A and B are shown apart, each in its own frame.
Chain A
Amino acid sequence: EPEVTQTPSHQVTQMGQEVILRCVPISNHLYFYWYRQILGQKVEFLVSFYNNEISEKSEIFDDQFSVERPDGSNFTLKIRSTKLEDSAMYFCASSETPLRVHEQFFGPGTRLTVL
């Protein structure tokens, strides 16, 4: 069964460093998302991406964040200068189409720890 994959599963970094979180969405899906979950809190939307551009973003997704689909399979989230408060689980998700609401399929998450 097709699934969303994410790498790495756990990333530890120093404050101020740049990190890139990688996702491989399901191959025929067209709409991609990043969410984050700070420990003990609810999952929060960061950004959605369609047709090689950002479709929607939340207030959390400020200038330190960027997303990219560098090739036909990967979808990345870059955090330019990490802060302690960026420590969280980051989930990638994908869905078939944005034309109407579709089920979203989630990756296993990347746990980011900023020291």
Chain B
Amino acid sequence: KNEVEQSPQNLTAQEGEFITINCSYSVGISALHWLQQHPGGGIVSLFMLSSGKKKHGRLIATINIQEKHSSLHITASHPRDSAVYICAVNYGGSQGNLIFGKGTKLSVKP
């Protein structure tokens, strides 16, 4: 069964801390996505990657294809980063639909 596992489920940090959220998946993928879901429910795409590393502002996403693992890092965290961060993958046999992890709820305290 194609599974996407995230850890931790919940994360509380102090403003300024370095955050790492992990994602692992079970079989070969064509791409991995990191998404952000705000309390209102809306989903925003942060990164799509199939190899290596991507950086956007204070966010960094890495993927290790051999280990079937990806990490999302947030540097100098801020209360406005508080959200649910979701890892989702396109499995090789699919035609684009995403398989989602359960998400990591991040709360950054001032």
Contacts and interface: CB of A to CB of B under 8 A. Distances in A.
Interface residues of B, number: 25
A56 interface: yes
A45 B97 CA distance: 7
B88 A43 contact: yes
Secondary structure at the A interface, as helix, strand, loop or mixed, is strand
A44 interface: yes
Interface in A40-60: 41-45, 48, 50, 55-56, 58
Contacts of A50: 95
Nearest to B44: A106
A59 to B, nearest CB: 12
Interface string A31-47: 10101010001111100
Given A45-B100, A56-B96, A109-B41, 8 more contacts: A31-B96, A37-B41, A55-B95, A58-B97, A91-B43, A103-B45, A108-B40, A108-B42
Interface of A: 31, 33, 35, 37, 41-45, 48, 50, 55-56, 58, 89, 91, 95, 98, 101-106, 108-109, 111
